[in-house]
Amino acid sequence: MLSKEQNDRLTQVGPGTPCGELMRRYWIPIAPSAQLLENPVRKVRILGEDLVLYKDTSGGLGLIGDRCLHRNVDLQFGIPDKCGLRCPYHGWLFDETGKCVERPMEGAPQAEIKQKLKGYPVQEMGGLVFAYMGPLPAPDLPRWDLFVWPNSIRQIGLTVIDCNWLQCQENTGDPTHSAWAHGHLFEYELSRNGKLDERSSDNLHTLHQRKRVGVGIKEIYASQTEHGFRKGIRYSKDLGADADKDVEHSTVIFPFYTQTGKTGAPRSEYQIRVPIDDTHTYHICYQCYAAPPGVEAPEQDVVPYYIPPTHDDTGRPILDYVLAQDAIVWVAQGPIADRTTELLGRTDIPIVVLRRQLDEQIKRVEQGLEPMNYFQKSPDIIHPLGSAPDYDKPESLNKHGFRKYYHKGFANDDADRYGPLIETVKDLHRAIEDFEIRRAAGQQRDPAHA
């Protein structure tokens, strides 16, 4: 349970708020690059600020305030110029810093205007546009591994979630929610629609695996790492589990990333919970499908994006895929969860760790220090899991085995099914399976692998 003041401290993201100032120390993904191919000028709202993202005719990017200094015209209707964005009303030209550099029809000479629009640095990486909204000079854009991993194809799922970012991110600090939100709820939804036998006949189906998450739990563990924290479930055979074992849950990357699946696996993902404002979250599923050495992934010029639906044509929630199940319970906590009335249990240990870590990093910024994952100079590649994938142990890459078999129907359980790349992904998974079968057969014939 938190006090109202503590809850506000962790959830409010506008300028000048404690968490908002922390968030402004990071490069924040604000749009897929592909959206600027459709329209080079886009309105965006991030951390409670209304801004306009544009690509000018020279290919340069800018992120500036959304209202012209002249007559307050909304610049989402602006005209890209060679070096900036022009207001559609009278042609005033703004550069990427928000400075007005030309005022047509105002005569000459023109006195320099002291007022400026907001202007934030932007960069592209891995098919996403990132913005830095904090004090300058900006740190390096971190090269997290899924954004730059070779021999891979990618697609990006976008969803606006009508609640505060923290209740989305706290989901990653909750390793046991799978048993109900993705197990029993999934089973209930399929049963209600007469699709249980059709969709879950294979024991690999996610609902069967998820229901087993809740059986034989001895304790929950969580500990801080260099880039966030790790957590999972410790199982006991005496309590009904199939073995005494520790099972790692998804990896938390501070401040608002989660990685599901191992880097280099046939399917892995960053789930990124970007605060739009205090009551809305820009949820990005950055999906990466990697091929092992020996299999060549298709070439990809543009990383496509899609918007997975959360409701059907009648307005009823769609609940037969994992992300939609998560989204409904996040929103069901209210626009901003009231943590003054919650009653935490033993399964919430990682959530306590997450909140403490967030508060600690807010305090670092308040003290004038750099927070976690603030890189003055980024390495060429950053492995949030601690190390590069080991292709000599392919079984270690596939925690959820069904996610390497999208060609066998298992794509239906994830948001990926709505993506424009899904048929290409299925072809890649077929090629990986064929390669693994041939490799296993060769190893059986080779005495060195006996």
pLDDT in tens, 100-113: 999 998 877 777 88
Q: Give residue 111's pLDDT.
A: 78
Give me the pLDDT at residue 450, please: 44
Q: Which domains does the chain possess?
A: 27-132 (2.102.10.10), 145-421 (3.90.380)
C-alpha dihedral, 327 to 329 to 330 to 335, nearest 10°: 120
User: Interior CA angle at 168 toward 163 and 172, to 5°?
Assistant: 170
pLDDT value at residue 389: 80
Query: Measured between alpha carbons, how far is residue 442 from residues 7, 296, 428, 448 in Å?
Result: 58, 19, 21, 11
Q: 418 in helix, strand or coil?
A: helix
Task: Note whether 267 and 155 are within 8 A (CB).
Answer: no
* Mean pLDDT across 33-52: 98
User: CA 101 to CA 92: how far, in whole Å?
Assistant: 8
pLDDT at 204: 67
Which range is most confident: 198-202, 389-393, 429-433? 429-433
Mean pLDDT of 33-45: 98
Three-state SS for 192? helix
Is 60 exceeded by the pLDDT of residue 328? yes
Closest CA to 41 of 26, 51, 28: 51
257-313 pLDDT per residue, tens: 999 999 999 999 999 999 999 999 999 999 999 999 999 999 999 999 999 999 999
446 pLDDT tier (thresholds 50, 70, 90): low
What are the phi and psi torsion angles at 164 (to 5°)? -65, 150
Taking the C-alpha atoms of residue 37 and residue 24, their distance in angstroms, rounded to an integer, is 27
Contact criterion met (CB below 8 Å) for 261 and 247 = no
Residue 444 predicted with pLDDT over 80: no
